[in-house]
Amino acid sequence: METIYLITNEIKISVEVAYQGHNATGFQSSYLFAYRITIENMGDETVQLINRHWKITDGFGQKRMVDGAGVIGQQPVLNPKQNFRYSSNCPLVSEIGSMEGNYEFENLRNGNRFFVAIPRFMLIAPQLSN
């Protein structure tokens, strides 16, 4: 499994993706992709993840935005050199797509908020890779 990463504002975001399979019911079809994200605080300040913003694009060019508080129901606090890892999934109507976005963090010492980019990653069913 390939890992991609990006560092923004001393926060490293690493992403791993795994295809979970295809489900077809009637005229509806979906392809499920799991992803695991590691958020590492490489700085010297304690920060808290406040919000997330995702842009999900399927193979037909349809875009879907997902916004919300925290991740998987949590707003983790990361001390310097600490990391937080979580897993989630994304259903698509096509065998290929992509995800990208950003997290909004707050510096707990001074209250300043800042954004951290989530690197764009591809969602590709293995049958397309052959």
pLDDT tens, residue by residue, 50-96: 999 999 999 999 999 999 999 999 999 999 999 999 999 999 999 99
Confidence (pLDDT) at 1: 66
* Domain boundaries, given as residue ranges, for the chain: 3-128
Confidence (pLDDT) at 23: 85
pLDDT at 26 over 70: no
Query: What does pLDDT average to over the chain?
Result: 94
Confidence (pLDDT) at 130: 57
More confident residue, 130 or 109: 109
Q: What is the secondary structure of the chain as a DSSP string? A: --EEEEEETTEEEEEEEEEEEEEEETTEEEEEEEEEEEEEE-SSS-EEEEEEEEEEEETTS-EEEEEEESBTTB--EE-TT-EEEEEEEEEESSSEEEEEEEEEEEETTT--EEEEEEEEEEEE-GGGT-
Confidence (pLDDT) at 128: 76
CATH superfamily for domain 3-128:
ApaG domain (2.60.40.1470)
Confidence (pLDDT) at 70: 97
